[in-house]
């Protein structure tokens, strides 16, 4: 791809960074000080950084643990003027996740003091088909805007497959989700106690993105 100078990724914890630190510490394979790394430091091991290194360009990892798709779109709007000549990767999360200010939740969470409110919300107000249409609409809007800025949007589902994005810029067409892709080559690499990708998976995703979009 011509004139791409920046990699931008955004999504939930799956996109933010690998999650095999605790297991590596338990097996005494890393210095225990890694346990105290900041979120910013951990992102240096993400597929975003690995891909940027392959291309020798800058990167911005805007993902965060627990983030909803609402958070993703809000963060992109906040950075909208900084996305020229960028390769933008959105890892969609569970559409049931919602954000109200700093509060994030989904129906399966059992947060004390909030449970009854959530039951009322999902029973009376939540409409999943509408929710998915909203997500697809937002992706289309960002796609058109990024094209005008000589940028490229790539989308994938991280671990749930409710959102079907039909455009060519959907990655993992052969696999419904990044999770399915991981299980296609070796399910040992899912960190079972946390069900998140580990660094091996992030490196493999970076390699796949590079091969698909930048290497012929």
Strand 103-105 and strand 98-100: pairing?
A: antiparallel
Q: What is the mean pLDDT of the chain?
A: 82
Predicted local confidence at residue 119, as pLDDT: 72
Assigned domain for 92 exists: yes
Local structure of residue 170 (DSSP, 8 states): B
Assigned domain for 64 exists: yes
Predicted local confidence at residue 15, as pLDDT: 95
Assigned domain for 74 exists: yes
Strand 196-197 and strand 152-157: pairing?
A: unpaired
Assigned domain for 43 exists: yes
Assigned domain for 1 exists: no
Assigned domain for 69 exists: yes
Question: Is the confidence at residue 200, as pLDDT, over 80?
Answer: yes
- Give the range with max mean pLDDT: 17-21, 27-31, 131-135: 131-135
Assigned domain for 183 exists: yes
Helix axes 47-55, 199-213, angle to 10 degrees: 40
Predicted local confidence at residue 196, as pLDDT: 84
Predicted local confidence at residue 168, as pLDDT: 66
Assigned domain for 153 exists: yes
Instruction: Give 39-74 pLDDT, tens digit per residue.
Output: 788 888 899 999 999 999 999 999 998 899 999 999
Question: Is the confidence at residue 103, as pLDDT, over 60?
Answer: no
Structural domains counted in the chain = 1
Report CA 114 to chain centroid distance, whole Å.
26
Rg (CA), the chain: 18
Predicted local confidence at residue 203, as pLDDT: 93
- Least confident span in 47-56, 112-121, 162-171: 112-121
Question: Is the confidence at residue 18, as pLDDT, over 90?
Answer: no
- Cα 184 to Cα 201: distance, rounded to the nearest angstrom: 11
Q: What totals of helices (H) and strands (E) does the chain contain, helices first?
A: 9, 8
Range of the domain at 131: 6-213
At 141, which CATH number?
Answer: 3.40.50.1110
Section 180-206 average pLDDT:
77
């Amino acid at each position: 791809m011509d004139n791409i100078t920046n990699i931008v990724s955004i999504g939930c914890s799956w996109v933010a960074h690998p999650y095999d630190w605790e297991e590596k510490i338990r097996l005494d394979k890393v210095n225990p000080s890694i346990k105290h790394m900041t979120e910013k430091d951990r992102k240096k091991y993400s597929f975003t950084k690995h891909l940027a290194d392959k291309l020798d360009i800058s990167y911005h990892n805007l993902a965060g643990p627990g983030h909803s798709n609402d958070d993703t779109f809000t963060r992109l709007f906040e950075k909208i003027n900084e996305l020229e000549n960028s390769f933008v990767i959105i890892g969609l999360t569970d559409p049931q996740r919602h954000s109200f200010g700093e509060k994030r939740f989904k129906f399966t969470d059992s947060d004390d003091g909030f449970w009854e409110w959530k039951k009322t919300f999902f029973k009376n107000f939540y409409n999943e088909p509408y929710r998915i249409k909203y997500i697809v609409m937002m992706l289309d809007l960002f796609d058109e805007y990024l094209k005008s800025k000589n940028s490229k949007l790539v989308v994938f589902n991280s671990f749930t497959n409710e959102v079907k994005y039909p455009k060519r810029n959907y990655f993992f067409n052969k696999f419904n989700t990044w999770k399915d892709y991981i299980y296609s080559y070796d399910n040992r690499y899912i960190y079972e106690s946390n069900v998140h990708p580990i660094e091996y998976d992030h490196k493999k995703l970076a390699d796949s993105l590079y091969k698909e979009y930048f290497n012929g």
